[in-house]
Structure 1
Amino acid sequence: MKTGIIGARGAGKSTVFHALTGLAPIHGASEGKARARPGQIKVRDARLDNLEAIYGSRKKIPVELTVVDFAPNPREQKEGAALDPSLLPLIRDLDALLIVVPQFAGNRQALTAAVESIEGELVFADFDQAERRLERLKKERGGSDFERAALERVLKWLEEGKPLRTLEMTHQELQAFSSFGFLSRKPALVVVNCDVEAATAEITGSERETLRAHGLDVFRLAAAFEAELWELDEAGQREMLSAAGLEAPARDRLIAALYHHLGLITFYTAGEPEAHAWSLERGATALDAAAKIHTDIARGFIRAEVMSYEDFAELKSEAKVKEAGKFRLEGRDYVMRDGDIIHIRFKV
């Protein structure tokens, strides 16, 4: 999962990146794809640790989140502008966005106004893209009537200033637009970059309603404070977090927030070679899980052998899970549950 950090100049985007990844901000201006700097966050997972220990796995592979920071481009983004327009092509292939709104000493922006301003830029970019595509279709002979109608529906929605993540689309429409990379359709979290004293504060009811109308959730982060925690050992980090009223570091809280917002679950494959955690959309099937592991496995899917993490953790072996009658054989349409441990039988 690849998530990009966007926002106005001076919002503290690179400090947010530092707080989440431990990597220092990018200094100096860059252009093109060289502006992007990825950082990996390995998801801490006690269940995966336990599977590794019980199976004696030689390798452990947690779920990873890639967070992308972008070097500034002062020539393109003017002071006070909501978004750098030269950034838009670089964020089309991202899975999700973190929209940073500053609310720290020296730079406090109203949450609702800042979000609506950035959303307006994303909506305008999508409108321009959809409009140009529709114009090309009208000039082409034998173009798709379905795509024309779908684009007209999208344009009408965008014309009202509404982001596409709030427009319910059919499966066929989603397939038709899969290569478009619509920006306002991307799942997004609003990161309120605040002082540490406000790290656990709540937003107002009206602010929450505005975010909900945009299909957004909020994540509070004292970025400057949490960036400094990387200089401390784990004991020191826990002490400072506790004093601030925070139960976990930013990276762990962000993962939880994204999982909730995106509707994700974790499933596992485990054995002596490796214990592996995988993220998957809630409601996905065993066939979807197989495709996540490898497309060849999905193509040759026969059946899935499934047990819950809870049963395995209690009984400590597959044999005992089978003896207890809690080891299941499932077909391709089985709906995966959080914590499922799965082994796919397939033919090449």
Structure 2
Amino acid sequence: MRGAVFGEGGSGKTTLLMSLSALYGAEVSGKGRGGVVAVRVPDERVDFLASAFGSKKRSYVTVTLEEVQPGADALFDGQNLPLLKRSDFIILLVPQFPYSGGRVGEKTISQYVSGVLDEMCLSDYMVAEKRLERLVKEGKKDRERDLLERVVKALEDSTPLSKITFSAEENKLLAGFSFLTLIPMIVVVNVAEASREDPEIHSETEKVREKGLRALLVCASLEEEVMELPPEEREEFLREMGIASPAGERLLQESFSLLDQIVFLTAGPTEARAWNIRRGATAREAAGRIHSDMERGFIRAEVIHFDEFREFGDMAKAKSAGKVRLEGKDYVVQDGDILTIRFNV
């Protein structure tokens, strides 16, 4: 999973990345326009399986977050668009504290977010219109042209493409364009410590949610301070501040939910590993997530849910008890399933 942390200069992008880095023990890398942090998401199920199987290696789901700067003139430009379009999701930071520069100014949170969405629609419109003009010039009247005519009309009305229902075939046609407004987005309202309970900020954040967007309220500077404390003191400090869980933890949970991801597991003497995959994926698709040969030569999947396996702590015992079952290629993988793929190539 890859996310772009996008926002005005001084909005708190780096502070947010640094707090995530400290929370999960990940290093911030990258030079120039922005940093990159690769967060290994802790999973006690992987740890349990590694102990049960004597695995030499433990591999967790990794979420990579990249800081992306706005353009100097327009919000989106030739430098940041490629970075945004290769992302699975976008985190839009909206600063609500005194800072210099940027385009937020006197706009409310919801007004600023609406403005960003309008600019995203404009960026997508230019791409779609250019392609449509070429199809018209060539005299083509096909599915792509019909689809792009719908797309252009929606974008002219400042309607994000995420608001439109497309068929599976249409989504395949659209995939090559990497439209910004099809990329899921989380709005992170970054407030000053003194404004965490400001009713107007909470009201404006709710307006963002009413637009159909995910929105979180964080105080990145406070979170950074918390992460400077010894780990054993952090929970107590957060509790005293009335914060249920660290912003980084909430952000990752929201990302998984936004992308509708679940986790399945594999384990053996070499490695215990967590794999993320979209909810509703089949056993054969999960096999392909591990290796293309497994998907191509898929025969069956041995399946046991982690909760059942934990009762036995040993695969042989679980099999003897009849808890490990064989599933075909169309089996829908569940969160927490442990899979062993049978395949032949």
User: TM-score, structure 1 length as denominator?
Assistant: 0.88
Say whether 1:47 aligns with 2:76: no
Give, in angstroms, the shift of residue 268 of structure 1. 0.3
* AA in 2 matched with 1:101: V
Cα distance between partner residues in 1 of 2:267 and 2:28: 35
Task: State the Cα deviation string for residues 28-65 of structure 1 (Å, max 9, x = none).
Answer: xx5xxxx3532111101122221122222111000000
Give, in angstroms, the shift of residue 240 of structure 1. 2.6
Bigger mean CA deviation after superposition, 85-94 or 119-128? 85-94
Aligned to 1:162, the other structure's residue is in SS state: coil
Q: 2:314 aligns with which of 312, 317, 338?
A: 317
Q: 2:242 aligns with which of 242, 245, 248?
A: 245
Inter-CA distance 109–339: structure 2 relative to 1 (3 Å threshold)? farther
Q: Which residue of 1 aligns with 2:103?
A: none
Say whether 1:148 aligns with 2:145: yes
Give, in angstroms, the shift of residue 238 of structure 1. 2.6
Say whether 1:21 aligns with 2:21: yes
Say whether 1:167 aligns with 2:168: no
Bigger mean CA deviation after superposition, 50-59 or 240-249? 240-249
* AA in 2 matched with 1:313: R
Q: 2:188 aligns with which of 178, 188, 191?
A: 191
Q: 2:323 aligns with which of 323, 326, 335?
A: 326
Inter-CA distance 26–327: structure 2 relative to 1 (3 Å threshold)? closer
Give, in angstroms, the shift of residue 224 of structure 1. 1.1
Cα distance between partner residues in 2 of 1:89 and 1:307: 41
Q: Which residue of 1 aligns with 2:206?
A: 208
Cα distance between partner residues in 2 of 1:25 and 1:259: 23
Q: Which residue of 2 aligns with 1:277?
A: 274
Cα distance between partner residues in 2 of 1:294 and 1:26: 29
Give, in angstroms, the shift of residue 24 of structure 1. 6.4
Give, in angstroms, the shift of residue 210 of structure 1. 4.3
User: TM-score, structure 2 length as denominator?
Assistant: 0.89
Q: Which residue of 1 aligns with 2:77?
A: 85
Give, in angstroms, the shift of residue 231 of structure 1. 2.8
Give, in angstroms, the shift of residue 317 of structure 1. 1.4
Cα distance between partner residues in 1 of 2:187 and 2:143: 34
Percent identity, aligned pairs only, is: 38
Give, in angstroms, the shift of residue 137 of structure 1. 1.5
Aligned to 2:146, the other structure's residue is in SS state: helix
Q: 1:68 aligns with which of 66, 70, 90?
A: 66
Q: Which residue of 2 aligns with 1:122?
A: 120
Conservation of the 8 A alpha-carbon contact between 1:17 and 1:25: no
Give, in angstroms, the shift of residue 21 of structure 1. 2.5
Task: State the Cα deviation string for residues 177-213 of structure 1 (Å, max 9, x = none).
Answer: 1111100110110011123455588865675354343
Aligned to 2:19, the other structure's residue is in SS state: helix
Conservation of the 8 A alpha-carbon contact between 1:102 and 1:109: no
Conservation of the 8 A alpha-carbon contact between 2:187 and 2:216: yes
RMSD: 2.4
Cα distance between partner residues in 2 of 1:208 and 1:263: 22
Aligned residues: 334
Give, in angstroms, the shift of residue 324 of structure 1. 2.8
Inter-CA distance 26–306: structure 2 relative to 1 (3 Å threshold)? closer
Conservation of the 8 A alpha-carbon contact between 1:14 and 1:26: no
Task: State the Cα deviation string for residues 281-337 of structure 1 (Å, max 9, x = none).
Answer: 111111111111111111111111100010001121112222332211111111111
* AA in 2 matched with 1:124: L
Conservation of the 8 A alpha-carbon contact between 2:109 and 2:205: yes
Aligned to 2:234, the other structure's residue is in SS state: helix
Give ranges in structure 1 of 5+ residues lacking alignment: none
Q: Which residue of 2 aligns with 1:59?
A: 57
Conservation of the 8 A alpha-carbon contact between 1:111 and 1:207: yes
Say whether 1:307 aligns with 2:304: yes
Cα distance between partner residues in 1 of 2:20 and 2:107: 22
Q: 1:265 aligns with which of 262, 267, 274?
A: 262
Give, in angstroms, the shift of residue 233 of structure 1. 2.5
Q: Which residue of 2 aligns with 1:3?
A: 3
Cα distance between partner residues in 1 of 2:252 and 2:195: 20
Give, in angstroms, the shift of residue 17 of structure 1. 2.1
Q: Which residue of 2 aligns with 1:103?
A: 96
Aligned to 2:335, the other structure's residue is in SS state: coil
Task: State the Cα deviation string for residues 100-140 of structure 1 (Å, max 9, x = none).
Answer: 11123458852211111111111110011000011112223
Task: State the Cα deviation string for residues 78-97 of structure 1 (Å, max 9, x = none).
Answer: 5xx7x243422321111110
Conservation of the 8 A alpha-carbon contact between 2:28 and 2:36: no
Inter-CA distance 134–255: structure 2 relative to 1 (3 Å threshold)? same
Conservation of the 8 A alpha-carbon contact between 1:197 and 1:244: no
Say whether 1:232 aligns with 2:229: yes
Inter-CA distance 51–26: structure 2 relative to 1 (3 Å threshold)? closer
Conservation of the 8 A alpha-carbon contact between 2:113 and 2:208: no
Task: State the Cα deviation string for residues 128-177 of structure 1 (Å, max 9, x = none).
Answer: 10000111122236x46000001111111111211111111111111111
Cα distance between partner residues in 1 of 2:307 and 2:314: 12
Conservation of the 8 A alpha-carbon contact between 1:18 and 1:25: no
